[in-house]
């Protein structure tokens, strides 16, 4: 019987003693409570120790750094730090441009009748490239010639009239001279008679007046003759000027007519011709372009942040991608920047250009702007600007590992960069892109 059953039974018995029953029940309860064993207590201790070890292990593992990742050696390239002279260079793309280019423009409007030469052909100064026609120009030339002929006829008529007038005046002067001389002789005779009192005084004075009148008249006629001679020369000169003007107009129209036979104007190669037969050309439009292929220069586009170090006379190298770079030097720098770059002209220092060199060929140019002596330098990595700090991976040990170091750059060049701090001579660093490993301070090289 259990303790609960006995208790219920005791409560139902009427004759049981009420004083002794509680003591008996409490004694039975104490006897039924189980007592903890020593083995069970030991088990609890072991469980607490295990839980503590698990917590300590978890914390320790959480504090451990991730394992260094592995990088394939075949996908990276490295560079070594050196000490010595570093050549600063700037680079830019460009094209080969002829030094001597002749643009041929239309002198007058006209219709293209024929094209006689095609681009790429060698031409001389007198080679006719195309022929134009314009009836209006022909009519203007004929009208100018008619005006010239009329002006020349007017000059002949004017000279004839003026010469006739001059001759008439010369006759008047001659007649006046004769009358004046006759009057002088008459006066001399009358003066002789007057001394003998054979002529009245009134007649003598009349003779004297006649001489005086003819003297003045002769002077006036002579002045008139001189004025007429000067007038002949002046009027003839005006008409000759008019004739000369018309002659120039005729020559100009003849030149316009001749310009419709479009010639190259210089020896070289016809690079382009812009119109086809039947097209109408306006005066001033570019018809063709003739170049001298043996004299080319490189026109480079240098980024404006690098162009500040470029100067006239600096050596340069032009890569035409078909052989060794062509040496040259800077001859012109554009004073203005366009589209973030500055145009720099490089003259090629060779007597004969390679066979692959031709106008409008795309090239790459490198200009030497300075030499830095006694400095640390290395090949330029994929990141890093001048005077900046970057993180690079330096190979350590036997080259099986690389650790991240902070490197201070100085001046930069196209392929090299100056090292201010962070590396020593002989250090080998990874130059390729390592952005995927930025969170690691160490990588393994396999």
Residue 214 makes CB contacts below 8 A (sequence gap 6+) with 176, 179, 180, 183
Pairwise pLDDT comparison (198 vs 343), residue with the higher score: 343
Could you read off the pLDDT of 236-289 as tens digits, one per residue? 888 888 889 999 999 999 988 998 999 998 888 898 898 999 999 999 999 999
* pLDDT tier for residue 17 given thresholds of 50, 70 and 90: very low
Domain that holds residue 411: 73-97+292-445
- Residue 334 placed within a domain: yes
Q: Which among 119, 112, 107 is positioned nearest to 289, based on CA atoms? A: 119
- Residue 25 placed within a domain: no
| pLDDT > 50? residue 349 | yes
- Residues 188 and 219 reside in one and the same domain: yes
Residue 98 forms beta bridges with which residues?
A: 296
- Residues 196 and 300 reside in one and the same domain: no
Residue 429 forms beta bridges with which residues?
A: 79, 394
Are residues 294 and 300 in contact, defined by beta-carbon separation less than 8 angstroms? no
Tokens 């500040």 sit on residue: 308
Are residues 382 and 433 in contact, defined by beta-carbon separation less than 8 angstroms? yes
* pLDDT tier for residue 4 given thresholds of 50, 70 and 90: very low
CATH number at residue 223: 1.10.287
Could you read off the pLDDT of 286-317 as tens digits, one per residue? 999 998 877 889 999 999 888 888 999 999 99
- Residues 409 and 433 reside in one and the same domain: yes
Torsion sign over Cα 86, 87, 89, 95: negative
- Residues 198 and 247 reside in one and the same domain: yes
H or E, element range at 363: strand 362-379
- For residues 346 and 133, give the distance between their C-alpha atoms in angstroms, rounded to a whole number: 42
- Residues 141 and 236 reside in one and the same domain: yes
- For residues 33 and 284, give the distance between their C-alpha atoms in angstroms, rounded to a whole number: 124
- Residue 45 placed within a domain: no
* pLDDT tier for residue 385 given thresholds of 50, 70 and 90: confident
Structure tokens at 374: 């006694």
- For residues 386 and 308, give the distance between their C-alpha atoms in angstroms, rounded to a whole number: 14
| pLDDT > 70? residue 168 | yes
pLDDT of residue 313: 93
State the average pLDDT over residues 214-218: 87
pLDDT of residue 82: 92
- Residues 439 and 415 reside in one and the same domain: yes
Torsion sign over Cα 105, 111, 115, 119: positive
- Residues 336 and 412 reside in one and the same domain: yes
CATH number at residue 116: 2.40.50.100
- Residues 252 and 372 reside in one and the same domain: no
Eight-state DSSP code of residue 47: H
- Residue 11 placed within a domain: no
State the average pLDDT over residues 70-82: 86
CATH number at residue 400: 2.40.30.170
pLDDT of residue 263: 92
- Residues 157 and 181 reside in one and the same domain: yes
Which parts of 37-120 are beta strand (E)?
70-71, 78-80, 82-98, 101-105, 110-115
- Residue 308 placed within a domain: yes
- Residues 267 and 388 reside in one and the same domain: no
What value does the mean pLDDT of the chain take?
Answer: 83
| pLDDT > 80? residue 15 | no
- Residues 311 and 249 reside in one and the same domain: no
Could you read off the pLDDT of 26-43 as tens digits, one per residue? 444 444 445 545 566 777
Residue 289 makes CB contacts below 8 A (sequence gap 6+) with 101, 102, 103, 104, 270, 271, 272
State the average pLDDT over residues 2-16: 45
H or E, element range at 401: strand 401-412
Q: Which among 87, 79, 78 is positioned nearest to 378, based on CA atoms? A: 79
Least confident of 23-32, 208-217, 406-415: 23-32
- For residues 302 and 341, give the distance between their C-alpha atoms in angstroms, rounded to a whole number: 5
| pLDDT > 60? residue 1 | no
pLDDT of residue 12: 44
- Residue 345 placed within a domain: yes
- For residues 250 and 256, give the distance between their C-alpha atoms in angstroms, rounded to a whole number: 10
Decide: pTM greater than 0.75: no
Eight-state DSSP code of residue 112: E
- Residues 306 and 248 reside in one and the same domain: no
Give how many domains the chain has, as a whole number. Answer: 3
- Residue 28 placed within a domain: no
Q: Which among 255, 285, 317 is positioned nearest to 87, based on CA atoms? A: 317
**Percentage of the chain modeled with pLDDT above 70:** 89
- Residue 55 placed within a domain: no
């Amino acid at each position: 019987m259990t303790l609960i059953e006995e208790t219920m039974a005791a409560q139902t018995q009427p004759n049981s003693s009420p004083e002794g029953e509680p003591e008996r029940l409490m004694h039975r309860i104490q006897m039924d409570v189980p007592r903890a064993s020593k083995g069970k207590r030991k088990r609890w201790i072991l469980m607490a120790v295990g839980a503590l070890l698990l917590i300590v292990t978890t914390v320790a593992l959480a504090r451990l750094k991730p394992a260094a990742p592995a990088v394939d050696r075949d996908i990276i390239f490295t560079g070594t730090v050196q000490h010595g002279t570093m050549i600063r260079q700037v680079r830019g793309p460009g094209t080969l441009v002829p030094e001597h280019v002749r643009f041929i423009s239309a002198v007058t409007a006209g219709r293209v009748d024929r094209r006689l030469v095609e681009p790429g052909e060698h031409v001389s100064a007198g080679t006719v490239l195309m022929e134009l026609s314009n009836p209006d120009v022909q009519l203007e030339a004929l009208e100018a010639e008619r005006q010239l002929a009329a002006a020349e006829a007017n000059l002949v008529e004017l000279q004839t009239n003026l010469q006739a007038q001059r001759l008439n005046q010369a006759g008047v002067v001659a007649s006046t001279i004769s009358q004046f001389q006759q009057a002088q002789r008459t006066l001399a005779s009358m003066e002789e008679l007057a001394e003998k009192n054979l002529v009245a005084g009134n007649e003598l004075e009349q003779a004297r007046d006649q001489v005086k009148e003819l003297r003045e008249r002769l002077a006036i006629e002579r002045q008139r003759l001189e004025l007429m001679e000067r007038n002949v020369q002046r009027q003839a000169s005006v008409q000759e000027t008019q004739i000369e003007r018309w002659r120039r107009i005729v020559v100009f129209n003849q030149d316009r007519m001749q310009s419709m036979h479009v010639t190259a104007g210089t020896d070289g190669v016809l690079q382009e011709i812009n119109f086809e037969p039947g097209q109408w050309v306006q005066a001033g439009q570019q018809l063709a372009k003739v170049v001298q292929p043996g004299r080319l220069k490189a026109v480079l586009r240098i980024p404006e942040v690098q162009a500040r170090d470029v100067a006239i006379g600096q050596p340069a190298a032009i890569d035409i991608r078909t052989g060794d770079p062509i040496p040259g030097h800077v001859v012109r720098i554009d004073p203005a920047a366009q589209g973030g770059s500055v145009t720099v002209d490089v003259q090629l220092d060779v007597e004969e250009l390679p066979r692959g060199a031709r106008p409008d060929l795309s090239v790459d140019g490198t200009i030497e702007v300075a030499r830095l002596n006694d400095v640390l330098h290395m090949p330029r990595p994929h990141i890093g600007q001048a005077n900046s700090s970057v993180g690079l991976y330096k190979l350590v040990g036997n080259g099986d590992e690389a650790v991240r170091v902070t490197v201070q750059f100085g001046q930069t060049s196209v392929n090299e960069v100056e090292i201010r701090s962070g590396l020593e001579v002989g250090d080998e660093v990874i130059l390729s892109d390592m952005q995927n490993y930025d969170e690691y301070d160490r990588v393994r090289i396999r």
